[in-house]
Amino acid sequence: MQQTSQATNAWRVLFLLFLANLFNFFDRTIPAIIIEPVRHEWSLSDFQLGLIGTAFTLVYAVAGVPLGRLADTGARRKIMGWGLAIWSALTAVNGLAWNFWSFLLIRMGVGIGEASYAPAANSLIGDLFPAHKRARAMGIFMLGLPLGLVLAFFTIGAMVKAFDSWRAPFFIAAVPGLILAVFMFFIKEPARGAAEAVRSATVAPLDRPLRRVLAIRTFWWLTLAGLTFNFATYATNSFLVPMLQRYFLMPLEQAAIATGVITGLTGLVGLTLGGWVADKVHQKSERGRLLLAAFSMAVAAACTGYALIAGRIDIGLFVGVFSVGWLFAYNFYTCVYTAIQDVVEPRLRATAMALFFAGLYLLGGGLGPVVVGLLSDHYSQVAMLAAGATEMNETFKAEGLHNAMYLVPVALTLTLLALFQASRCFVRDAANMRAGLAAA
């Protein structure tokens, strides 16, 4: 009876974590959709547009490390509740921005709020579900990512059109987040390590937690994989809508919906089916999850690369091919996030996830938008000079951004290589983790 009650609580908490994750990515996606109206209103370059995403992710990464350590020692429900309330409130304030710099500073504040959530939530999932169920649980949790994107890409364009203002979505998005934050404080937390087959009898804090995490070789390779993967995803999420608007001449609402299909709807299948497949291959081979992730990156790189190389093909074909690639790319989350849980002991998991996210966002998500933005401006100048023109126009801007997006399949290929290397040392590190728990 007690086990049934614990299982019921686990799924209830997971549903709440999923909802918060959904609003996390909904709020995070708004600037990527309204990016062209903002560019025209404040006469911004693509570098400045990329800087908005980069500033957010840099703050997110830096703030995540101490907040992740706090989640390993404090009440995770309070950390998540306050974080959700802060980022939702600042999302509303974002709608009041009066120039580029005010917009940038407010986005940095949103980043601090959101940084509190992921390490604590991942740590909680590790204590709610045993190893053989974690990939499915993580898949459900991460469904908040594509559903948040789908909801954002399918509705924000309509909001802008209905209110004739790019500011309206920020005000609307804040309301559900503030309501959900209240429920976070009532989560019933399990004991740390409660879902492990082998449990440590020690509950005292560990000394040198960062050094212990960084001593795990698999963790290094997974962080490198996350860095390159996040470079690709953040570059895509930041610039796919404007690329469709400029290169394929789509209106904002249609470009947003097409991007929602590519980066959102694919995740509903990828995370649901991917979590189930990842658990199955894990039962056959300990390193099966990471090999599945490496294979998925190969497909993702090939599909996104072809869609870009093909040039101005039919928009339906572009969306279809790019979507297949992104569907496989979603296997990264169910395979890699659970692999980290398998090689890091429970008392260090939030710290490990904070370090992992720091690598992802400082050098991956942080660089993706700004590097693509810089390259876009560069290639736009090249296109203008090649045409013998003296003034920049939208045709040159379209060519520049399209050429800069080739970095996406390149980054996915590098992710594939890092995942394969991680699979080579995973079995040993997972065994060391289990042995450490048994000896404690």
pLDDT, one tens digit per residue, over 323-332 is 999 999 988 9
Tokens of residue 15, six digits:
């549903």
CA distance 121 to 126: 9
Full-model pTM: 0.78
**CB contact at 8 A, 117 and 124:** no
**CB contact at 8 A, 237 and 371:** no
Q: How far apart, in Å, do the first and last CA atoms of the chain sit?
A: 29
- Mean pLDDT value of segment 118-130: 80
pLDDT in tens, 217-270: 889 999 999 999 999 998 998 899 999 999 999 998 899 999 999 988 888 888
> How much is the pLDDT for 329?
94
> How much is the pLDDT for 353?
77
Residue tagged 């370059």 (tokens): 45
Higher pLDDT: 202 or 183? It is 183
CA 66 to chain centre: 19
- Mean pLDDT value of segment 273-281: 79
- Mean pLDDT value of segment 96-106: 93
On the CB side of 61, CA atoms within 13 Å amount to 23
**CB contact at 8 A, 64 and 357:** yes
| Average pLDDT along the chain | 86
Angle at 124 between CA 121 and CA 128, to 5 degrees: 135
Residue 1 confidence (pLDDT) above 70: no
